[in-house]
């Protein structure tokens, strides 16, 4: 099985990296948003950098979406594991379209409600983890097993 | 030495300016090293670099007695892991610094739990920087292994069902 590890630079990727024991033994590749963190990710297989985007910059969203689409078609992951944010969300949807399973770990910073990306991915996720027990009570199909950080 | 960092993604003029002003007050004798990204404000009381390689970032982080940053989870996690006293200023939606107020939410929650200090506005920075000198963060015990094990179980079941 080929696993796509997708997370924006900063807190998203640092939370994802802590879970490396979870995919031990599987073939992985990684998608992130800035090149600065590239050297940190060398153990995760091929690293793709798609650039930053958020909903305030629609043109950049399209650019990043196209880049993510190209990666998915080339790599054809069986599973996507993401901690967010926007780029991770795109990779989840695009990979689901080619039949991949989706694992989403919502960032610990989402204290009061699940992130916008997470709320969208929830509909297609095969495993959806949150880091506050209150959130697991509030949303269906959402699990709390513990905190990553 | 205090390490000031604004994270990888966006500028943070409000924080850099507030720290610069605090550093300009008579009697301030700490050294500040700063990574300020695309921040347009130029600090007068310490040297700042826009972006640093991860290895250099790690070095500053390890050498610093305390950290000042935005309330980004990357920096917060790293400070907790290294048990460094941390002062955060949350980026706020009303200033266009982030798309929502998640930094404010996590800062409040972690402040209550004793993990870090929070400056909610520029006016809080000088006093919080004083408190930071003697602040001892609570130790945090995450359950990373349990979360990783949950993912591993999912993948192993999936892998079995496909063979």
CA distance B145 to B85: 25
- Cβ of B8 within 8 Å of Cβ of A143? The answer is no
Q: Which of B74, B92, B140, B143 is the best substitution to test chain A (most A C-beta atoms within 10 A)?
A: B74
Structure tokens at B33: 């090293």
Q: Do A21 and B145 touch (CB under 8 A)?
A: yes
Q: With cut-offs at 50, 70 and 90, classify the pLDDT of residue B110.
A: very high
Count of pairs with CB atoms under 8 A, one residue in A, one in B: 129
With CB atoms and an 8 Å threshold, state whether B146 touches A126: no
What integer pLDDT is reported at residue B7 of this predicted model? 81
CATH number, position B9: 3.40.50.2000
Q: Looking at domain A2-144, which of 2.60.40.10, 3.40.50.1820, 3.40.50.2000, 3.10.20.440 is its CATH number? A: 3.40.50.2000
- Per-residue burial over B139-155, b = 16 or more CB atoms within 10 Å of its CB, e = otherwise: ebebebeebbbbbbebb
Spell out the residues 6+ positions from residue B142 whose beta carbon is closer than 8 angstroms to its own: A18, A146, A147, A148, A149
Q: From the list B109, B145, B158, which residue is nearest A79 (CB)?
A: B158
pLDDT score for B99: 82
Tell me: pLDDT of B8 over 80. Answer: no
Residue B40 pLDDT greater than 90, yes or no: yes
Give the pLDDT score at A16: 96
pLDDT at res. A39: 79
Burial of A146 (0-12, 13-18, 19+ CB in 10 A): middle
| Number of domains into which chain B is organized | 1
pLDDT at A88: 98
pLDDT under 50 in chain A at which residues?
Answer: none
Across the interface, of A55, A110, A145, the residue whose CB is closest to B150 is: A145
Residue B130 structural domain: 2-162
Q: Which of B7, B77, B146 sits opposite A145 (nearest CB)?
A: B146
Nearest chain B Cα distance for residue A69, angstroms: 23
Tens of pLDDT along B83-104? 999 999 999 999 999 888 999 9
Q: Is the pLDDT of residue B27 over 90?
A: no
For A111, the closest of B74, B105, B150 (CB atoms) is B105
Q: What is the DSSP track for A105-130?
A: E--TT--SS--HHHHHHTTT-SEEEE
Sheet holding B48-49, edge to edge: B48-49, B32-35, B2-5, B66-70, B86-89, B117-118
The pLDDT score that the predictor gives to residue A21 is 97
- A22:B105 CB<8 A: no
Nearest to B32 by CA among B7, B2, B52: B2
Sign of the Cα torsion A39, A45, A46, A52 reads negative
Q: What is the ipTM of this complex?
A: 0.96
């Amino acid at each position: 099985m080929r696993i796509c590890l997708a997370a924006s630079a900063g807190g998203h990727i640092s939370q994802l990296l802590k879970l490396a024991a979870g995919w031990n033994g599987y073939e992985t590749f990684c998608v992130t948003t800035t090149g600065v963190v590239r050297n940190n990710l060398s153990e995760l297989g091929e690293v793709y950098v798609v650039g930053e985007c958020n909903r305030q910059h629609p043109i950049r969203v399209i650019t990043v979406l196209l880049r993510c689409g190209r990666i998915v078609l080339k790599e054809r992951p069986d599973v996507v594991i993401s901690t967010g944010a926007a780029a991770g969300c795109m990779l989840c949807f695009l990979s689901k379209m080619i039949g991949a399973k989706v694992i989403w770990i919502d960032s610990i910073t989402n204290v009061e409600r699940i992130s916008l990306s997470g709320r969208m991915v929830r509909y297609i996720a095969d495993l959806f983890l949150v880091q506050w027990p209150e959130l697991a009570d509030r949303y269906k199909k959402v699990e709390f097993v513990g905190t990553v950080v | 030495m205090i390490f000031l960092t604004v994270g990888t993604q966006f500028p943070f003029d409000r924080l850099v300016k507030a720290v610069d002003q605090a550093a300009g007050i008579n009697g301030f004798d700490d050294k500040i090293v700063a990574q300020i990204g695309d921040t347009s404000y130029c600090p007068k009381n310490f040297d700042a670099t826009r972006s640093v390689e991860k290895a250099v970032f790690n070095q500053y982080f390890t050498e610093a007695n305390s950290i000042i940053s935005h309330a980004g989870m990357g920096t917060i996690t790293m400070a907790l892991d290294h048990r460094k006293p941390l002062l955060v200023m949350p980026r706020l939606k009303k200033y266009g610094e982030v798309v929502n107020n998640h930094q404010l939410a996590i800062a409040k929650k972690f402040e209550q739990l004793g993990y870090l200090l929070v400056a909610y506005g520029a006016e809080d920075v000088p006093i919080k920087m004083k408190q930071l000198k003697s602040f001892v963060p609570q130790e945090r015990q995450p359950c990373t292994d349990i979360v990783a094990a949950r993912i591993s179980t999912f993948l192993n079941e999936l892998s079995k069902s496909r063979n």
